[in-house]
Amino acid sequence: EPEVTQTPSHQVTQMGQEVILRCVPISNHLYFYWYRQILGQKVEFLVSFYNNEISEKSEIFDDQFSVERPDGSNFTLKIRSTKLEDSAMYFCASSDRDKYEQYFGPGTRLTVT
Amino acid sequence: DAKTTQPTSMDCAEGRAANLPCNHSTISGNEYVYWYRQIHSQGPQYIIHGLKNNETNEMASLIITEDRKSSTLILPHATLRDTAVYYCIVRVGNSGYALNFGKGTSLLVTP
């Protein structure tokens, strides 16, 4: 069964550094998403992406964040200058045009020290 | 999106049916009811969704009341692997929209 994959599974970085989290969505899906979950808190929507542009974003997704689909398979989330409060599990998801369910990857645990 | 209300936690004995309720009294006519679950910090997993008719798939059944103000997710024969946080989410059915996760119901399946 096709699945969303994410790399790395765990990323440790120092405050102020840039990080790129990578995702490979399900191959025929057209909509891509990033969510995050701070330890012990609820899953929060960050951004959705369709047709090579952002279709929706939350208040969390400020200028420090950017997304890109650099080729036909990868979908990335970049955090320009990480802060301690960016420490969280980041989940990538994808969905098909005619099906409403979103399929999530296993997540990348980001630890900012 | 309409607000949902779920119990904080529930227990269920292994092999028995788990019935997870959700209230969504302000649901609009074009909003679907979705259920996802999250097993111990893994990525959320889609379970089922419905508009007004009851739905069943290989994982669960979804019962929506006639007035659509509440619904129940039924896991017919709960196993230990069904221990997870279950989220009831109401939103329009189009692709590309955010899922707004609440706190969900923490289901513990016991031996």
For the stretch B54-70, pLDDT in tens is 999 999 999 999 999 99
Per the CB < 8 Å rule, is B95 touching A30?
yes
Strand, helix or coil at A96? Answer: coil
d(CA A88, CA B50) in angstroms, rounded, equals 31
d(CA A110, CA A96) in angstroms, rounded, equals 27
Q: What is the pLDDT of residue A100?
A: 76
Per the CB < 8 Å rule, is A93 touching B94?
no
Q: What is the pLDDT of residue A71?
A: 87
Report which residue type is found at A113: T
Chain centroid to CA B95: how far? 19
Mean pLDDT for the stretch of residues A67-81: 93
Which of B40, B95, B100, B101 to probe by mutation at the A interface, max A CB count within 10 Å?
Answer: B95
Contacts of B6 in chain A (CB under 8 A): none
Summarize pLDDT for A6-51 with one digit per residue, the tens: 999 999 999 999 999 999 999 989 999 999 999 999 999 999 999 9
Per the CB < 8 Å rule, is B100 touching A45?
yes
Assess contact for A33 and A94: CB atoms under 8 A.
Answer: yes
Summarize pLDDT for B3-13 with one digit per residue, the tens: 899 999 999 99
d(CA A33, CA A55) in angstroms, rounded, equals 10
